Amino acid sequence: MSKEITNDTFLKAARGEKADHVPVWYMRQAGRSQPEYRKLKEKYSLFEITHQPELCAYVTRLPVEQYDVDAAILYKDIMTPLPAIGVDVEIKSGIGPVISNPIQSVKDVEKLGDLNPEEDIPYVLETIKLLTTEQLSVPLIGFSGAPFTIASYMIEGGPSKNYNRTKAFMYSEPEAWFALMDKLADMIIVYVKSQIKAGVKAIQIFDSWVGALNVEDYRVFIKPIMQRIFSTLREENVPLIMFGVGASHLALEWNDLPIDVVGLDWRLPITEARQLGIQKTVQGNLDPALLLSSWDVIEERAKQILDQGMEQDGYIFNLGHGVFPSVNPETLKRLTSFIHEYSSKMK
């Protein structure tokens, strides 16, 4: 039996319903800037933390306890399910995911296996169950990387600034590309469904780097597979969130997908997004760099964003990308309090 959710403002807003205040959570709120987390990282790697449900649950719930945010997001990485399908990935400090067997041909795609969550990632499911049955009174958000973003690491062999190899592979090897998209879509669907079954109450799909594509290429090479993923996940009856960085030109394409929430980075103002025709719930979009500014600057920018978001129901406050390690946790606590107080008065 799940622990009762006593704060459902996030779920209400995700569904476009009225809430007592604007809900807020922060991407990369778990870990990063928290001293308790940094102390853990002196002893354990990311993968080692995620393999220990008690420890992973602690990291996940810490920002809820410290900042009073309205949702938790499961602590893990978009690389988490990849070793199970045959991807040799290591997360290196200061670099990110490094893959030693990059995809170079359709034969490499055919070598990839299938994900069996109960056997391959039981620690993820155990962490979710622990959080949702015993520890959290706010919704837990599960997540997955999207096919393009995952594929970019698998083809480049690691992080990239321009995704040249990925795009060249997409253009010149369409058979292999679409085979890879289908393989990753199958994995994502199974992976996300297992998280929902274990107890998460919403899902965010991170297509962090898809902004590297133009609209026409997105429609041809990406959108059909995203349509299949979200249409299948729609059956699970939990809010679905789409997010990417530097992808404002794709916001209307996301709006077409069977999702509930369009995540915006700081490049596209909320008012402008709605003027473009996005009537679904929007999430965002304070530039995380502002968290390093003085409080007066942060408060004024947050107020501007809140005023835009509250013009209609269906708004979730978040950052335009993840929390930086150098951000003071007290800043996030103060910002959360301001968002709650200001939006409660204005509602």
Q: Please name which of 223, 101, 95 lies closest in space to residue 154, comparing C-alpha atoms.
A: 101
CA count, 13 A, side-chain hemisphere, 181: 21
Q: What is the pTM of this model?
A: 0.96
Average pLDDT over residues 187-207: 98
Question: Domain 9-346, what fold?
Answer: TIM Barrel (3.20.20)
DSSP H helices in the chain: 9-14, 35-41, 46-50, 53-67, 106-110, 117-120, 122-130, 147-156, 164-172, 174-198, 215-221, 223-233, 251-256, 270-276, 295-309, 329-346
pLDDT exceeds 90 at position 2: no
> In whole angstroms, what is the distance from residue 31 CA to residue 34 CA?
6
Residue type, 318: N
pLDDT in tens, 236-283: 999 999 999 999 999 999 999 999 999 999 999 999 999 999 999 999
**Rounded to the nearest 5 degrees, what angle is found at the Cα of 300, between the Cα atoms of 66 and 313?**
75
pLDDT in tens, 248-258: 999 999 999 99
pLDDT exceeds 90 at position 232: yes
What was the pLDDT predicted at 176? Answer: 97
